[in-house]
Chain A
Amino acid sequence: MLLNVENLHVRVEAEEEGEVKEILKGLSLTINPGEVHAIMGPNGSGKSTFSHVLAGKPGYEVTDGTVRFRDEDLLELEPEERAAKGLFLAFQYPVEIPGVPYMQFLKVALNSQRKLRGEEELSTPDFMRLIRQETERLNIPMDMLRRPVNVGFSGGEKKRMEVLQMAVLNPTLCILDEIDSGLDIDALKVVADGVNALRSQERGFLLITHYQRLLDYIEPDHVHVMTKGRIVRSGGKELALELEREGYAAYAEENAA
């Protein structure tokens, strides 16, 4: 088992002073190696919160439930330890970092993970070989790596670079938070091809999306419907098509009842 989430409850402090809002209300999910899962749901259902909590973003309080990742208590780990253990979150909005060249960022990230795992750091020639190989495969000009992280990149470029990071860092669980948002169809194909190339027996994927469109290009094994902080229905990839036809309204009512 790669990831096992049981009865997860998460609160977040709302904008208004002191007000606490429960976002996740008993979420359970299991992902095995090699599986591709998709969580679909309307805005505000807690999808992105779930991805943030898995990656360890500060500002959330887990009030109940457990999350185990590769037989360890994930919630006990710092964000960087989670990454070193093989968890990767592709951000919905990749962050711009002026003054930090992309190449340096990637190299520090890779070697920091290796160090945390007790492995040798990668030498510069080996690192460059890896970068050349992966940029070629994803059709990314090397020039982009000389620029500061995400600064001035288009939406499509940012997402493609998230996939490059994934390829270079070689995680075991990839969480893609709305990887399709802000992409036109060509950019979506490029990103989906990159993701599909990374599918393997050992690696699991969690796709978080609002729209079925993404799943035309990255075919999931399991689809889950999430509303109001819980998974309310699970099924095969045909569930996505059903959602596309009928919308989320039915689930929202079912959940409220």
Chain B
Amino acid sequence: MSKPMNRLAAEEAWREARESFDAGVPWLAEARRSALEAFEKDGLPTPRTEDWRWSDIHRYLNAPYPPAVATPAEGLDTLVASNPFVGVDASLMVFVNGRLDPGRSRLVGEEGVDVLALSEASLAPEWADFSARDDAIDRLNLAYATDGALVRVRAGLQASVPLVVLNITTGEGISCALRHQVRVEEGASFTLYEVQLGSGDHVANVVTAVKLDEAASLTRIQANLKDEATIHFANLDADLGARARLHDLAVLVGGRFHRQQDFVDFSGEEAEARVDSAYLLRGRQHADTRLVVNHAVPHCTSRETFKCVMDENARGAFQGRIHVAPGAQKTDGQMAAHGLLLGEMAEFDAKPELEIYADDVVCAHGATAGALDEEQLFYLRARGITERRARGMLISAFVAETFDDVENEAARSALQNLAESWLAEEGGA
């Protein structure tokens, strides 16, 4: 069979790696094989793929990024030290270029919480499901994932020790994939922090699959602090049972290209999901979020708020869809995307959509884009607040809405600090 001429250099490298690449984890071989076959059949999305309309990955994946084999030794201490959630009392798992770094990880044992690295598991955990959904990034991830966190929270346990996972990818011209699995059993609750760290022109692909049983609850907070050369794909794949609750928040200040995809599936009634994002972009950063909320069953609630600040030539994009299946009555879904444009060359694209096949639902969506409000700015300055500080206060206020309900105080102030340090570099002066 002849190879298509338009295949990207990165895609070519991933296909070639198929034979030589040894991911370890023998029990995953079968799942990998079918993910890879599906990936090879459909390939990467093209600019004509509707779900990718604002992210031309051909611009970013036109060089080979073969799977990483060696772990770099330099700069790791600094990267680990830049963990914003260092003040949160938690277990720590550090992954470096696709492998657990046991020396830098520190697990605080808690009865009823099983935490294990994928690479350490000798058998497939019976509670986890390793299959890829109909998505190129997810397939690629499963095909090349070398490690990940496996977390199981036993029924009824309100876990007191959260887990902080550092997804470090650092280096040039490589790719790494991590696949985390979190299962929160009936009535249990857990908090997971994920930090995307690292530098260099590379591709990282991190998938976090979450399954919440009946009345289970999970808070997941993700921060991306990567440097301006990186390409990052991050998927959330969440399945919510009856009366389960998910609070997911992604805060992003780093990266050259970032694609976030959140898939939230309601499979039991009266569950609630809240999925928020706050992006602070400048330079030539490009960050794109795709959000798909599937209300397959009645009586579930979903709230999505996307806040994106863009300066200079940065570009933010949001595509969100709330899908309400036939019979999913009493669905309450609301989705909002707001862009704050600070630079004249910045660009914001948003497409929130509702797809409703039930007749007794309350659903809404909205999108706005604009600059800082001149009246608000003048009001603050008229009270003696300098223009720079006033702008900072208004930008913070714009994103703060997404932080306000983070219960852990150390985590909340860590996120505020991230925004503050972004602001401190704002305007150059």
Contact = CB atoms under 8 A, between A and B. Distances in A.
Given A80-B384, A112-B385, 14 more contacts: A79-B381, A80-B386, A80-B390, A82-B382, A89-B382, A91-B382, A99-B401, A100-B397, A105-B393, A109-B385, A112-B384, A112-B386, A113-B384, A148-B397
Nearest to B379: A95
A74 B401 CA distance: 38
B117 interface: no
B383 interface: yes
Contact of B397 (A82, A83, A98, A116): A98
Interface string B384-403: 11110110011011101100
Interface in A63-112: 78-80, 82-84, 89, 91, 94-100, 105, 108-110, 112
Nearest to A55: B382
B396 A99 contact: yes
A231 interface: no
A112 B374 contact: no
Interface in B353-402: 374-376, 378-387, 389-390, 393-394, 396-398, 400-401
Contacts of A110: 384
Contacts of B378: 57-58, 79, 95
B386 A99 contact: no
B389 A108 contact: yes
B397 A58 contact: no
A83 B394 contact: no
Q: Is the interface of B mostly helix, strand, loop or mixed?
A: helix
A83 B382 contact: yes
14 contacts: A78-B386, A79-B382, A80-B383, A80-B387, A83-B381, A96-B376, A97-B376, A97-B379, A97-B380, A99-B398, A100-B393, A105-B393, A116-B386, A169-B384
A109 B383 contact: yes
A58 to B, nearest CB: 7
A99 B386 CA distance: 18
A109 B375 CA distance: 16
A163 B32 CA distance: 68
Nearest to B390: A80
A148 B400 CA distance: 12
A97 B385 contact: no
Contacts of A116: 384, 386
Contacts of A55: 382
Interface of B: 374-376, 378-387, 389-390, 393-394, 396-398, 400-401
A118 to B, nearest CB: 13
A45 interface: no
Contact of B400 (A84, A94, A99, A169): A99
A82 B378 CA distance: 12
Contacts of A89: 382
A95 B375 contact: yes
A84 B379 CA distance: 14
Question: Which interface residue of B376, B381, B382, B385 has the most chain A CB atoms within 10 A?
Answer: B382
Nearest to A95: B379
A173 to B, nearest CB: 13
Contact of B379 (A82, A94, A169): A94
Contacts of A100: 393-394, 397
Contacts of B375: 95
A172 interface: no
A207 B195 CA distance: 55
B383 A78 contact: no
Contact of B384 (A57, A84, A94, A148): A84
Given A57-B378, A97-B376, A112-B389, A165 B383 contact: yes
Contacts of A91: 379, 382
A41 interface: no
A105 to B, nearest CB: 7
A108 B385 contact: yes
A46 interface: no
A194 B374 CA distance: 29
A56 interface: yes
A116 B386 CA distance: 9
Contacts of A95: 375-376, 378-379
Contacts of B374: 58
A149 to B, nearest CB: 8
Contacts of A99: 396-398, 400-401
Most chain B CB neighbours (cut-off 10 Å) among A80, A94, A105, A110: A80
